[in-house]
């Protein structure tokens, strides 16, 4: 075991995950498997699970390529929100889209959103879309 409490293969997998995320894409299990020279899918699953249990990585729910570094969870969520909005026409973001069901503050004549409000609205819109 290394100083982080990881086996050499776990450390190798974590290094590969960190490098991939630094390049802007979360690696798939197969990419991790190939990078560290593991033949068994169940073995790579155990390695990734161990990294999650030790708090080095997290999985973002209901997303492909969902491995993120535990200390970068907010960055990973922001990237998912950006990808969601980037793939929508402008009219999908208005009152009938991302902000559906939200009511503007009384007497404001429009929306005054904090960053947290916007993040919550996008997360709820993504969840509604997954349910359809």
The number of beta carbons lying within 10 Å of the beta carbon of residue 23 is: 9
Q: Could you tell me if 13 and 51 are in contact, meaning their C-beta atoms sit under 8 angstroms apart?
A: yes
pLDDT at 113 over 60: no
3-state secondary structure of 8: helix
Indicate the pLDDT class of residue 1, thresholds 50, 70 and 90.
very low
pLDDT at 103 over 90: no
Q: Could you tell me if 9 and 36 are in contact, meaning their C-beta atoms sit under 8 angstroms apart?
A: yes
Q: Could you tell me if 46 and 26 are in contact, meaning their C-beta atoms sit under 8 angstroms apart?
A: no
**Domains along the chain with CATH numbers:** 8-70 (1.10.10.10), 88-131 (no CATH)
pTM of the model: 0.54
Summarize the confidence of residues 26-50 as an average pLDDT: 93
């Amino acid at each position: 075991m290394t100083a982080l409490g990881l086996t050499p293969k776990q450390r190798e997998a974590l290094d590969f995950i960190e490098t991939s995320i630094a390049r802007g894409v979360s690696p798939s299990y197969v990419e991790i498997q190939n990078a560290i020279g593991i033949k068994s899918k169940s073995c790579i699953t155990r390695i990734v699970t161990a990294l999650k249990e030790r708090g080095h990585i997290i999985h973002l729910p209901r997303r492909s390529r969902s491995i993120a570094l535990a200390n970068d969870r907010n960055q990973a969520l922001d990237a998912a929100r950006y990808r969601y909005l980037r793939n929508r026409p402008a009219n999908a973001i208005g009152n009938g889209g991302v902000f559906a069901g939200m009511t503007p503050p009384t007497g404001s004549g429009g929306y005054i959103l904090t960053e947290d409000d916007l993040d919550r609205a996008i997360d709820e819109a993504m969840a509604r879309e997954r349910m359809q």
